[in-house]
């Protein structure tokens, strides 16, 4: 069991299909203060790959590796 | 054993490898059956089947004659391509324990899915194919209409991408302060057993087709299964190939699709030469261009194209039920509009079937095709770099502001 990180904000994107997970994630990160922590919960399989890859491509860093939670993924990303 | 199984069933596969295999398989399928991997023709026939079911007299509708509406979906090879794709996707979803009912939190997605599906279905049939027969499997057939369609789809997708970023369209996500709880995990894992059972039954059915001499149905079922497995495990999304390039400078899907088409083109021209087959050519006309734009716009509105919606539905993304319904509605309406509303006369009649093999010869055709695919690849790389250059400049401005 991972130590639970204390996120400043959580995006609950369960049920949302592509491209909205990646759009919402990048827009939310863009609006947050530097160093704040965003938790993203998504169950869209397409976003399991493109959200982390695009967050990194846009210069953001992960607080920990993506966590697979059954049919969901959890991402913890620093703004 | 577990270490071998895990990469195959638990992880998504590399899109380049997936589309390479899909390109090879579609060339092989053409060699074996003289037909291409396609789905919207069957969607149109399903629309015709539904009209018949409701007692509508569709005799004399030229479009249904053109797509050879005869027999029932389970008696048609193209029908088994479609059902095989559904089956293949579902089997892989279950084997990887990935099935989950996924309902959009925002109701507007259902309307967007239905309307987008209608537009995409109408556009695809107007152009006589979607991302497959007018794109991924159309290019390797050297049908010039595919290149018109690709360009038009790119244009339609560009405007669709603009639309998805508007506030009224995309809506607001659920954003809360602090942590939120992920879904509680179920102890029992039964999906893989269900997936395995369905796989055995489906393979049994395929064997029955071959054993009873219904070779074309068997091939449709077998290749449909393979295509369904590939697109689900690769999360292959033709919509995102253009859309995500515009939205976030993401190019991996576009590059993989281009490489798949290049390999498929080379194999297909070999197959055509060896077996002296006739390539499948569709009319290049204003309808191809208009259809491509509508298709490109519609698939972005709907969040997925014809093939994408099929495997996503199998994943439990119920948004794609209205998308699927929309596609059938759009295709069926086009079938009606073709002669009853004068679409054929206005947009199609003046066109012509142009095949590069006929106009340029085999060497010319494959050379020009590979050159154009190379050009498309270069455009993709440029688009990605341009996006990230803009991003760098924007970030630089933010740094100065702080």
Residue-wise pLDDT tens digits, B120-137:
999 999 999 999 999 999
Question: From start to end of B220-369, where are the E strands?
Answer: 283-284, 352-353
How many Cβ contacts (< 8 angstroms) between chains A and B? 130
Q: How confident is the model at residue B9 (pLDDT cuts 50, 70, 90)?
A: confident
Instruction: Supply B131's token pair.
Output: 């991302």
Cβ contact, residue pair B391, A17, below 8 Å: no
Give the residues of chain A that fall short of pLDDT 50.
1
Confirm whether A44 is a catalytic residue: no
Cβ contact, residue pair A72, B97, below 8 Å: no
Nearest in space to B27 (alpha carbons), one of B363, B389, B366, B396: B366
Q: Which residue has the tokens 């074309």?
A: B216
Sheet strands side by side (includes B174-177): A61-69, A72-78, A37-42, A9-12, B174-177
Give the single-character DSSP code of B141: G
Above 80 in pLDDT, residue B400?
no
Measured CA to CA, the distance from residue B151 to residue A47 in angstroms comes to 27
Measured CA to CA, the distance from residue B107 to residue B278 in angstroms comes to 47
Nearest in space to B284 (alpha carbons), one of B72, B387, B142, B382: B142
Above 90 in pLDDT, residue B231?
yes
Measured CA to CA, the distance from residue B36 to residue B265 in angstroms comes to 12
- By Cβ distance, the residue of A10, A15, A57 closest to B104 is A15
Give the end-to-end CA distance of chain A in Å, rounded to a whole number: 25
By the 8 A CB rule, do B388 and B161 touch? no
Within 10 angstroms of residue A37's Cβ, the number of other Cβ atoms is: 17
**Among the options A18, A32, A37, A67, which is catalytic?**
A18
Q: Report strand pairing: B352-353 vs B174-177.
A: unpaired
Above 70 in pLDDT, residue B93?
yes
By the 8 A CB rule, do B33 and B271 touch? no
Mutate to test the interface with A, among B104, B170, B173 (most CBs of A within 10 A): B173
**pLDDT on residue B165:** 94
B112 touches chain A (CB under 8 A): no
Percentage of chain B modeled with pLDDT above 70:
98
pLDDT in tens, B328-371: 999 999 999 999 999 999 999 999 999 999 999 999 999 999 99
Q: How confident is the model at residue B3 (pLDDT cuts 50, 70, 90)?
A: low
Cβ contact, residue pair B182, A69, below 8 Å: yes
- Cβ-proximal residues to B37 (8 Å cutoff; 6+ apart), any chain: B22, B25, B26, B29, B81, B132, B133, B136, B137, B223, B227
Mutate to test the interface with B, among A19, A22, A47, A60 (most CBs of B within 10 A): A19
pLDDT in tens, B173-228: 999 998 888 888 877 899 999 999 999 999 999 999 999 999 999 999 999 999 99
**pLDDT on residue A1:** 44
Instruction: Supply B73's token pair.
Output: 């979906």
By the 8 A CB rule, do B381 and B251 touch? yes
Cβ contact, residue pair A19, B240, below 8 Å: yes
**pLDDT on residue A3:** 58
**pLDDT on residue B1:** 57
Measured CA to CA, the distance from residue B114 to residue B328 in angstroms comes to 10
Rounded to a whole number of angstroms, the distance from the CA of B186 to the nearest CA of chain A is 8
Instruction: Supply B277's token pair.
Output: 């087959």
Q: How many residues are given for chain B?
A: 402
Nearest in space to A50 (alpha carbons), one of B166, B151, B109, B240: B240
B contacts of A39 (beta carbons < 8 Å): 179-180
Query: Which B residues 23-62 touch A at CB under 8 Å?
Result: none
Rounded to a whole number of angstroms, the distance from the CA of B27 to the nearest CA of chain A is 27
Measured CA to CA, the distance from residue B129 to residue B153 in angstroms comes to 12
Query: Which B residues 153-192 touch A at CB under 8 Å?
Result: 164-165, 170, 173-180, 182-183, 185-186
Nearest in space to B289 (alpha carbons), one of B140, B170, B128, B176: B128
């Amino acid at each position: 069991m991972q130590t639970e990180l204390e996120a400043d904000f959580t995006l609950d994107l369960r049920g949302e299909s592509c491209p909205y997970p990646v759009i919402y994630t990048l827009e939310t990160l863009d609006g947050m203060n530097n160093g704040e922590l965003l938790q993203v919960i998504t169950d869209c399989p397409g976003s399991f790959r493109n959200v982390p890859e695009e967050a990194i491509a846009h210069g953001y860093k992960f607080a920990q590796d993506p966590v697979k939670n059954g049919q969901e993924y959890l991402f913890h990303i620093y703004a | 054993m577990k270490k071998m199984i895990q990469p195959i069933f638990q992880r998504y596969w590399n899109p380049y490898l997936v589309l390479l295999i899909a390109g090879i398989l579609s060339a092989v399928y053409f060699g074996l059956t003289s037909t291409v991997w396609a789905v919207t023709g069957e969607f149109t026939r399903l629309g015709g089947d539904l009209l018949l079911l409701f007692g509508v007299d569709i005799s004399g509708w030229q479009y249904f004659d053109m797509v050879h509406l005869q027999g029932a979906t389970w008696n048609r090879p193209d029908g088994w391509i479609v059902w095989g794709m559904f089956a293949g996707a579902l089997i892989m979803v279950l084997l990887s324990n990935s099935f989950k009912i996924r309902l959009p939190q925002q109701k507007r997605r259902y309307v967007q899915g239905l309307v987008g599906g209608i537009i995409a279905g109408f556009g695809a049939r107007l152009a006589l194919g979607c991302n497959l027969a007018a794109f991924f499997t159309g290019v390797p057939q050297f049908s010039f209409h595919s290149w018109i369609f690709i360009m038009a789809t790119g244009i339609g997708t560009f405007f669709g991408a603009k639309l998805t970023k508007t506030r009224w369209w995309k809506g607001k996500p659920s954003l809360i302060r602090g942590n939120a709880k992920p879904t509680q995990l179920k102890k029992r894992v039964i999906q893989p057993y269900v997936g395995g059972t369905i796989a055995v039954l489906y393979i049994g059915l395929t064997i029955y087709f071959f054993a009873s001499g219904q070779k074309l149905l068997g091939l449709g079922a077998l290749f449909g299964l393979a295509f369904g497995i590939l697109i689900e495990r690769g999360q292959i999304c033709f919509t995102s190939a253009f859309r995500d390039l515009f939205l976030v400078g993401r190019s991996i899907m576009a590059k993989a699709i281009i490489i798949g088409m290049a390999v498929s083109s080379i194999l297909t021209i070999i197959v055509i030469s060896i077996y002296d087959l006739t390539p499948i050519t569709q009319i290049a006309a204003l309808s191809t261009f208009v259809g491509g734009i509508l298709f490109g716009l519609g698939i972005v509105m709907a969040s997925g194209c014809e093939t994408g919606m099929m495997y996503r539905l199998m994943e439990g993304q119920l948004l794609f039920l209205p998308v699927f319904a929309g596609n059938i509605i759009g295709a069926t309406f086009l079938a009606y509009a073709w002669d009853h509303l004068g679409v054929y006369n206005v947009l199609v009649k003046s066109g012509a079937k142009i095949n590069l093999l006929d106009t340029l010869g085999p060497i010319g055709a494959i050379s020009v095709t590979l050159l154009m695919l190379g050009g498309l690849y270069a455009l993709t790389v440029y688009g990605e770099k341009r996006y990230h250059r803009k991003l760098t400049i924007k970030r630089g401005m933010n740094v100065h502001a702080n």
